[in-house]
Structure 1
Amino acid sequence: MNSINLMNHYKKFKKDIEERFSIPLHYVIFGILLIMWFLNIPIDQLISFLDDDFKFKILYAFSIVYNHILLCTLIISFLIFIIIMIFDKLNMNSFVPPDKEYVDGTKVSINYMSAINRLVNIYILIFTKYWIYYFLALVLINNGKFIYLNETSIYLNNIIMILNVVLLFLHIIRSIFVLKMPVDDLLLRINQHELEEYYNILNEKNGYVIVKPEYRKMTNYYLLKIDDRCNDSKFYKVINKSKSLDEIIYNFDYLTNNL
């Protein structure tokens, strides 16, 4: 199995977990890790084939960030401050290149708020998702014990662990109370992205498509037709929907001149 197929399987597994349980995959991993770490299960055997020097280089690479949490906070805060000063306070927007439109219907523009949002998201990921991967590496390589960190950083990382335990608990509580309701009766159109991400294509011919939602226990089958009125992106009109696949197939065959 090559890396592309492995990544596709991972994305499908991630989507399946998050759709079914309403918990981010990295927090599912974190919960399993906490149980194994608490019970002292030797999961380090899973990567016993790797060279020890290579494994500890991985921990050292993580420690470059997590041994300098305060410095990372200062750097990101400084970058946000500089961006706000340049674009907002000094009104440098006039020097920003104009928007560019491409033949595929997309438009590219420079927006300083997007840069700020990305920096904030990176900062949040450092404390949540990326830290969980760091903890995964610690459990697999060093029995969950911090290494290459000074005393202050160990203290801060313990606080981050408590923060993530609280977030895990909140995700679990939310998943218990979350209510998902089907919107089949309201569905009139499906765009290309939604079709590729959330539906299984069962048949396709002459601009007509039979699809089935991927993450529904009880669902309708849909007969779609390409909507030629939308030039900016590809949309499909819902021609028919039914819980009976035979009904949809009959309608599909009729429209594609198979009957």
Structure 2
Amino acid sequence: MPSFLEAPVAGAYHVLTSLVDILQPLTGAYAAVIAIVLCTLVVRLCLVPLSVRAQRGLKARAALMPQLKQLSEKHRGDPERLQREVAKLQAESGTSLFAGFLPMLAQLPFFWLMYTLFSRTVVAGEPNQLISGSLLGAPLGVHWPVATGTPAFLVVAVLLAVVAWFSARLQVRQLETSATTGAPVSTWSRRIAQLLPFGTLLTAAFVPLAAGLYLLTTTTWTVVERTILQR
């Protein structure tokens, strides 16, 4: 790993281990699990302004769909002119076609930190204390095993599937809302909206259990947050 990336990893490690030490007398063996959940909630709380901005951007984009459709039909033979006109329309409305991706992109560094912290046996020049934590008997630093005697991975997978199902419903509802403004929803778009949230299950199969917990916590937050913001 490049040396300039060691500093944030070491900093995150000391923050998380300090939190585990504080929680240990109250939560015992689940101190690391609770610490991961709490840190994830703090991260998402800090990203609320971005989420609000993203939701406003998505609503503004939905309102622009009829105009975007007209521009596409008018300049279908001139891609460069179409690009300029779309950029002009976005600038005048103060929105962006990529507004909805802001919260997800902002979370990537935190997910990377969680993955790194629970994938290494040595962090900041000392043995990694975090990987000794466990959930239902499964060490937080292990990846999804082919066979396991603990229900931890199954529990996380089922909960991720439930959250993904609710997330898919929200995304389809958002597509249908866009359709009411004049932009028809294609079968392909609907299928992507229904399947994409279940990508968290595939991701969880290739990351440590701790990163799976992060995914579960942050996707649950996202579903609750979107439900509130879409009202």
TM-score, normalised to structure 2, is 0.28
Give the number of the structure with larger relative contact order, counting CA–CA contacts within 8 Å between residues 6 or more apart: 2
Higher helix share: 2
Q: Give the greater-gyration-radius structure (CA).
A: 1
